[in-house]
Amino acid sequence: NGHKVGTDKWRYKLEWYGRLASWLAAHDKDQPLVLCGDFNIAPTNKDVANLEEFEGSVLFNPEIVAKLEALLEWGLSDVFRIHRPDDDAYSWWDYRRGGFERNNGMRIDLILTSKPVTDNAVASFIDVDERQPESDQEGTHLIGEKPSDHAPVLLAFKPVEKNLVQGALL
């Protein structure tokens, strides 16, 4: 995630996103493309529950947000925000601070899509239920069944034509 602003890991994170932007520049933005996963970047203030706590961190820092914005400027879309522009929805909560119980999280797991994919997306959501601790039938939390600190971000598509998939960058 970059460890701490100013460290070698932070510089590596910045350089990695620069290399990703260079890779994108060599490709056709009209081809189907999906970049998804744990980006360790919250795109906007809306994606951070507690700005005071996280602003300037490795996850929400103007320098790293600019790297994400460069990917969007190339032609990728944050498809979750297209479908849920006003949701206060998070995909990550810090265990050490009881973030999930207080809903003090961030949306750092993203699905970025090129226009052909964006145009075929019909819905996106974060499956917060998967982040809940495992419980037995009586609702007692099961010992040792600790879920990830992330929740899955999902994207639904309308049926696509075969030729859309054939040209995809896989």
pLDDT digits (tens, 9 = 90+) for 43-57: 999 999 999 999 999
Q: Tokens for 167?
A: 């040209």
13 versus 167: the higher-pLDDT residue is 13
What are the boundaries of each domain within the chain?
8-162
- pLDDT score of 141: 58
Find the mean pLDDT for residues 116-138.
85
Q: Are 42 and 59 in contact (CB under 8 A)?
A: yes
Taking alpha carbons only, the member of 12, 56, 43, 16 closest to residue 111 is 43
> Does the domain spanning 8-162 belong to CATH 3.60.10.10?
yes
Neighbours of 157 (CB within 10 A): 13
